[in-house]
Structure 1
Amino acid sequence: MGAAIVLILVGLGAMAAGVLLGRYYVPDDRQLRRTARHSRAYMRALSHLIARDHDTVVSELRTVVEENVDDVEPYFALGAMFRSRGEHERAIRVHQALAVRERDKRKLRQRAMYELGLDFRAAGMPRRATRAMEEVLLEEPGHEGALRALAALYEEQARFNEAAELWARLGKRRNEDTSIREHHLLVAAAQAALARDDLDSAKQLLKAALRHQESGHFFAAAAELAAARGNHRGAIERLKQALVAEPALAPHLLPGLIASEQGLDDEAGPRIGKPDDLEDTESPAEDAPHLASGQTALVPVEGVALVPSEKPLASVSERVLALLADVEAQTGPRLEIALIRAQLAPPSDPNAQSELAKDLVTRFPEALAARVATARLALAVGESDAVKSALEVLVAEQGSLAWALRGRWQCAHCGHRPGPFSWRCGQCRRWDTLRMETGVEPPPLPPRERRAAPRAARPEGLLGAAPDDSLPTPTLDPGLSDDELAAAGTRRSVLGRVGGWFSGVWRRDR
């Protein structure tokens, strides 16, 4: 009986406690409400971002950050937003604070350092950006974003050898073929080594580039190397291979070809043997792949002169013409080579000039340059009928230059060329800016010099004032001394690579 009374009392007490708890207890749902507010703030920020209302996006993200300082994602979003708006200093402060706060969390610190590197690059601080990306790769060698960003930074700093190594790592990681880019970067590094008069490094870099493929770029750099060693015959063979691989490079390669032929005349005797020791075979392949490598203008403002202003000697011209004819026999008719042959034709041989003029008109009837070259040959020969015929082709009613007497409307503000006249330009929407343009094409804008200081004097090369003149101008300061740049542009040996790998492992584990 007593036990039953105890059970009844316990049940009544539990029932009373439940009623009281249900009536007066208020659960602590502040975390749930905070999470709901954050979700709404994220959605509002996303909608404003889509609408490009960046100020409101920043305001919403700052609201989330102020309420929850432990979550790092709003900080990363806020830093990226600052960077996209051009507020680089604020973005740098956010990511620097994250890198310091999360220094014990490896993944978060790497992410903050990567974002910090992007901030530095966007803010125009390439040295700091390079150091940040190098630190990310030291911790995580396979970080694809850091590999790509650092390769671009190295390339803009003219550190071509290091950029090639990074592209090789990126290609292996992504299982992509980056051999073409690696090839051109290694050749560019060899040209930079030639400009430093470091022939051994240039040879090793060209050998490394040859493992990927052959190209006109490679053959031109190999010709530079052969000329630097005094091997003019080897330079001629390499230039011929470059012309066969890419005939459009003829205006760029012709000065080197003439210089090499003149160098042969200055030698006591001909050199017999291999052009160079970059290959194992006695003579490189005749049919090289047609891979373009960017033509370099000798006169960038007024156009590329196909033939140097100072004509070579008659014997040199004859040998150059014979070589160009051999190249044309392998590649087929090429307008660039035909124009060069027409301008190199000896004036003392009117029959040869007449044959060249007929050949130009027959093979390239629609090319304006071919008609101009034909007219010049006719003037050189001095035959009135030939001169009259050439002039009719150029300036007759349906001639190639008849357009010079017909005008067209062009906007004086933006250069837009509409068809009929209009008082308002359809492109820039400015009023009363259309003017008649007749005859002469407007001159192109001169390229902006992005180099902080002019290049120092360097050894002259075969194809220009220096072997690296045809390389892109460095747009970023690497922050390294000349000796450090030279060491970075040198191909390391196997022992050096192994030592570098152990050094990197030691630095990561320290």
Structure 2
Amino acid sequence: MIQIETAWLLLLPVMFGIGWLAARWDLRLENRMDERERMRQQRSTFKGLSLLLNEQPDQAIETLVKIAQLDPETIELHFSLGNLFRRRGETERAIRVHQHLANRDDLKPRDRDHAAYELGRDFLRAGLLDRAEASLNRVGHGKFAAPAKESLLEMYQVERDWKKAIIAASELESLQGKSHHTEIAQFYCELAQESLHAKDLASAERSIKEALQVVPNHTRALILQGDYLMALEQPAQAIDAWSVVATSHPAFMHLIADRWMKAHTDIGKSEAGLDRLCELLNTQASGELLDVVHKQVMQIRGIQAANTMLSQVMQHSPSLSALSKLAETRLALEEGNANPDRVQELKSILHLLRQRTTSLARYTCGNCGFRARRFYWQCPGCNNWEAYSPRRSEGVAPSGPSM
């Protein structure tokens, strides 16, 4: 018995050694299989890229999707390729790539949200707004929720769907933790503007109240409130609304100066209305307000009063616009004196001044530098709201487009 037990004891190290060798062999086989799998994935990746380069996108996408099934880390490759296609203007290819990912059920929620967001951007680029909206609304509450809402907000503004824009901006406020009150107030003003054009005064009143609730004493909302009261044939109340603009936002009075004068005329107080506008010229003499005041003074008080008013403006706020109006007034005076030489001289001066002021007078966006002859609440260049200065400049902008 003792000899048998000793033999078994001698065999134990041999058995352990064989087991160790077998384990090592299995590990080597497993490593070889992993290496073969990696090589196969690499070959599939290169095959997919080769198909892309050879203008075979469908086969390439199928190959890359198979790689994604085997190795989820390659999903980032799909996103990179889709974004590359979109930047190159190959929107259909980008849609194919992102649509394959968005429709997969085996992806992580974060990757599905990412795919839905990118697909929505693809549809936006292609002008397929309904599909873009559906795709962006599929994005959950993760990392891509705020970018998706931003894209939806941009799309709703393009579509001029102001009610949906208000909802998107409100949701974006809660996601980002920052205020979008300026945009929301402007959206309500757009709704009010549309209602006034459609003569739906009840809807216009509601939208104006909502805008003023979001931003108290909002300039555009006050202007529209006056327009609403004028539509109700209540000029005195309209003057009250616009008086807040004259006091709190005098730089915007040029936008309503004509309507201001009409309201005062309707109640028989045109002189009082003109006096208030003339007072504003002490600080707001540049731009369109001067044009309106000059026209009204000429009509109500005569040429000599306009000449005196412009001479005063040239003393405290000289500008090419004021000089042009002064030349126009002096020309009217000289035409009454029947002095042909003086009249011809003033006509030449006035012609040159008008050319110069027409080519230089522009409103300029403070965000992108876009310049335009008329005032915009939303910049046509960068789409930012309330980015335009209400003051019309006469200098040459250093950069930025114009229209």
- Mark yes or no: TM-score above 0.5: yes
Question: Do the aligned partners of 1:219 and 1:242 also contact (CA within 8 Å) in 2?
Answer: yes
One-letter code aligned to 1:69? Q
TM-score (norm 2): 0.69
Give the CA deviation at 1:25: 7.7
Change (3 A) 1:40 1:205: farther
| Structure 1 residue 149: Cα displacement | 1.0
- Alpha-carbon distance in 1 for matches of 2:277, 2:98: 59
Structure-1 separation of matches of 2:60 and 2:98: 19
1:38-187 mapped onto 2 (5 Å cutoff): 65-70=65-70, 71=72, 72-102=75-105, 106-136=109-139, 143-187=145-189
Preserved contact between residue 211 and residue 218 of structure 2 (Cα < 8 Å) = no
- Counterpart of 1:199 (choices 185, 198, 201) is 201
The letter of the residue matching 1:345 is V
Which residue in 1 is equivalent to 2:323? 371
Residue 112 of structure 1: SS of its match in structure 2? Answer: helix
- Paired with 1:187 and 1:321, the residues of 2 have a C-alpha distance of 28
Flag the structure with higher helix content: 2
Q: SS of 1:136's equivalent?
A: coil
Q: Given residue 325 of structure 1, which amino acid in structure 2 is its aligned partner? A: C
Which whole-Å CA distance do the structure 2 matches of 1:113 and 1:79 have between them?
12
| Distance in 1 (alpha carbons) for counterparts of 2:112 and 2:22 | 50
> Which runs of 5 or more residues in structure 1 are unaligned?
49-53, 266-314, 405-438, 445-468, 475-510
Where in structure 2 are the equivalents of 1:47-446 lying within 5 Å? 65-70=65-70, 71=72, 72-102=75-105, 106-136=109-139, 143-211=145-213, 212-264=215-267, 316=270, 318-328=271-281, 331=283, 333-334=285-286, 336-346=288-298, 349-365=302-318, 367-382=319-334, 395=349
| Structure 2 unpaired stretches of 5+ | 363-374, 381-403
Higher relative contact order (CA 8 A, sep 6+): 1
Query: What is the letter of the counterpart of residue 231 of structure 1?
Result: Q
Q: In the alignment, is the contact (CA less than 8 A) between 1:98 and 1:109 conserved in 2? A: yes
Distance between the aligned counterparts of 2:306 and 2:191, measured in 1? 43
Cα distance in 1, alignment partners of residues 66 and 296 from structure 2: 76
Q: Which residue of 2 aligns with 1:456?
A: none
Task: Give the distance between the partners of 1:18 and 1:179, measured in 2 at CA.
Answer: 72
Identity %, equivalent residues: 22
1:184-243: CA deviation from partner (whole Å, max 9, x where unpaired): 222222222323333233222222221323232122111121122221222223234334
The root-mean-square deviation of aligned C-alpha atoms, in Å, is 4.5
Equivalent-residue separation in structure 1 for 2:284 and 2:25 (angstroms): 97
Report the alpha carbon displacement of residue 324 of structure 1 after superposing the two structures with TM. Answer: 0.8
Distance 1:335 1:24 in 2: 86
In 2, Cα distance between the equivalents of 1:65 and 1:350?
80
Letter of the 2:326 counterpart: T
Q: Is the 8 A contact 1:248 1:336 kept in 2?
A: no
Change in CA separation of 1:263 and 1:472 when aligned onto 2, cut-off 3 Å: farther
Supply the AA of the counterpart residue of 1:11: P
- Following the alignment from structure 1 to structure 2, what is the Cα–Cα distance between the partners of residues 190 and 402? 36
Determine helix, strand or coil for the equivalent of 1:214.
coil
| Alignment deviations for residues 382-436 of structure 1 (CA, whole Å, 9 cap, x no partner) | 3689x9599589859xxx86998xxxxxxxxxxxxxxxxxxxxxxxxxxxxxxxx
Kept in 2: contact 1:191–1:202 (CA 8 A): yes
Structure 1 SS opposite 2:139: helix
CA distance in 1 between counterparts of 2:344 and 2:243 reads: 33
Q: Which region of structure 1 is more displaced relative to structure 2, 170-179 or 255-264?
A: 255-264
Matches of 2:377 and 2:286 in 1, distance apart?
26
The answer to whether the Cα contact below 8 Å between 1:257 and 1:320 also exists between their aligned partners in 2 is yes
1:326 & 1:84 partners in 2: Cα distance? Answer: 54
What is the CA-CA distance between 1:129 and the residue it aligns to?
0.8
Alpha-carbon distance in structure 2 between the residues aligned to 1:380 and 1:88: 61
The alpha-carbon deviation at position 158 of structure 1 amounts to 1.2
250-259 or 83-92: bigger deviation: 250-259
Contact 1:189 1:202 (8 Å CA) reproduced: yes
AA in 2 matched with 1:374: L
For 2:277 and 2:89, the matched residues in 1 are separated by 53
Question: How many Å separate the matches in 2 of 1:40 and 1:263?
Answer: 83
